Amino acid sequence: MLDYDDPRRPQVVQRVVKEIKDKGIKYCWLEFLSIDGFLKSVGINSNRIEGILETGEGFDGSSIDGYGRLEESDMVAIPDPSTFAIVPWIRGGDKVARFLCDIYRPDESRYEGDGRYILQRQIRRAKKLGFDMQAAPELEFFLLKKENSHDVPQATDIRGYFDGDPGDKDQFLRRKIALYAENFPDTEVETVHHEVARSQHEIDIRYNEVGKIADSCITMRTIVKAVAAQNNYIGTFMPKPWSGHNGSGMHVHMSLWDKDMKKNMFYDTEDPNKISDNLRYWIGGLLKYAKDITAVLNSWPNSYKRLIPGYEAPTYISWGFKNRSMLIRVPNFFDKSKAARCEIRSPDPAGNIYLQMAVLLAAGLEGICNKIDPGEPTEINVFGMTRKERKDMGIRNLPESLGQALHIYRNSDFMKKVLGKPGYDAYYDLKIKENQRYNSQVSEWELKRYAGRL
């Protein structure tokens, strides 16, 4: 991840332009995310790329969610040369390159509502404090099919967790996804496997610096959808396609290192559990702001169909070591000097990954800076406790709907500070409209349950 003013940028630009010419790449995609996490793309002939790497490509920000009003609509997408990659699945023999972009205003200032910039601000804050956040997300998704465009997408298998596939149907798709990822910078797949629900799969991306990991998640979502489409499937990161089955989450493993990447700041050899005060305070920050950040970590009305008891998704704000009913879990591993970390289990993969990583980093830093005590770990199954027992232990609920989460978001000074006014306002306005559209729908379940009763 290179800033426009990064002193390394001219050398990287020169190398990339040379590679494009040497390899005969004729076409480039310039990509970025809308504020709600949807991929935006513009194609250019590569004979323009050298100039565009310097001055960017203009676009109408008022036509993209979160990128300006009509009276201030001009925006500029400037490609980050460190994200250059040759797209491996293009048919017909053409060579196409891809870049992820930073968004600027015409006066050459950064657009404050660009999710990538919001994350970069938090990364700079961490570096000033002497920290470098590393992260590894577990991306879950579904591979579905439908017979024609009017059909509801259906499951394609009835397999379960870690199930094999002797027919090589699922394995083929997962293998293509993992191998395509090798063509993109900083995107290394560690494992791919079938998950608990029917037609559900998981990709685990190798630990990396949080900015690079966010870019990698965008890459992986694109690869999944491309491989699925080329094989007449639908690849979706929708959190909960069906009731009665597990939904798709995005557990995020996080660790904090010194700026030289030599010391894991979450490890303490003197502690009985080998975890440092920094890790405890980090968890304290995440727990304190868990409700504030939920509207970003779980950004669709559908997200809250996943966050219910009984389906391995957290619903209560607590932490512990072994228990997977926790919102935050500290895994036990052999070499904690390098592996000491925590895992937050509530996020799902449907949102804006830049905003998701930004709020996690910001909440953790707030915990460290203010020495927020997370309290004692909880090692019993929270789902099995009564409401009174949870209340007596001070265990709070996560928001139960996007409407609840947005109400907390709207009144959160923390979120205003992290996202900045343009991003904060744009995100709220967009999501409140989406929630209103959802609330205006009448489901088949409601009709069957209530129509004959009154």
pLDDT, averaged per 10 consecutive residues of the chain (454 residues), comes to: 86 96 96 95 96 94 74 85 96 92 94 96 97 97 86 87 85 95 95 94 96 98 96 95 92 94 92 93 98 98 92 89 85 75 96 98 98 91 80 87 98 98 95 97 92 80
CATH of the domain at 106: 3.10.20.70
Q: Which of 70, 87, 111 is the last residue of a domain?
A: 111
Question: 355, 430, 323, 452: which is closest to 67 by C-alpha?
Answer: 430
In a domain, 453, yes or no: no
Q: Are residues 70 and 153 in the same domain?
A: no
d(CA 258, CA 134): 11
In a domain, 83, yes or no: yes
Q: In whole angstroms, how far apart are CA 392 and each of 252, 317, 388, 400?
A: 29, 13, 6, 20
Q: Are residues 243 and 198 in the same domain?
A: yes
In a domain, 4, yes or no: no
In a domain, 452, yes or no: no
CATH of the domain at 328: 3.30.590.10
Q: Are residues 159 and 292 in the same domain?
A: yes
Beta bridge partners of 141: 201
Q: Which of 85, 111, 137 is the last residue of a domain?
A: 111
Phi-psi region for residue 332, left (φ > 0), alpha (ψ -120 to 50) or beta? beta
In this prediction, residue 454 carries a pLDDT of: 67
In this prediction, residue 383 carries a pLDDT of: 79
Question: 229, 240, 226: which is closest to 142 by C-alpha?
Answer: 240
In a domain, 190, yes or no: yes
Instruction: Give me 166's structure tokens.
Output: 């002797």
Question: 71, 74, 63: which is closest to 111 by C-alpha?
Answer: 74
Q: Are residues 273 and 347 in the same domain?
A: yes
Alpha helices in 129-181 (DSSP H): 169-181
In a domain, 61, yes or no: yes
Q: Are residues 328 and 439 in the same domain?
A: yes
Q: Are residues 16 and 39 in the same domain?
A: yes
Name the pTM for this structure: 0.95
In a domain, 454, yes or no: no
Q: Are residues 341 and 211 in the same domain?
A: yes
Q: Are residues 307 and 248 in the same domain?
A: yes
Domain count, the chain: 2
In this prediction, residue 396 carries a pLDDT of: 87
Q: Are residues 54 and 179 in the same domain?
A: no
- Domain of residue 223 covers 120-446
In this prediction, residue 322 carries a pLDDT of: 75
In a domain, 78, yes or no: yes
Q: Which of 80, 111, 142 is the last residue of a domain?
A: 111
Q: Which residues contact 236 (CB under 8 A, 6 or more apart)?
A: 141, 142, 144, 153
Q: Are residues 95 and 133 in the same domain?
A: no
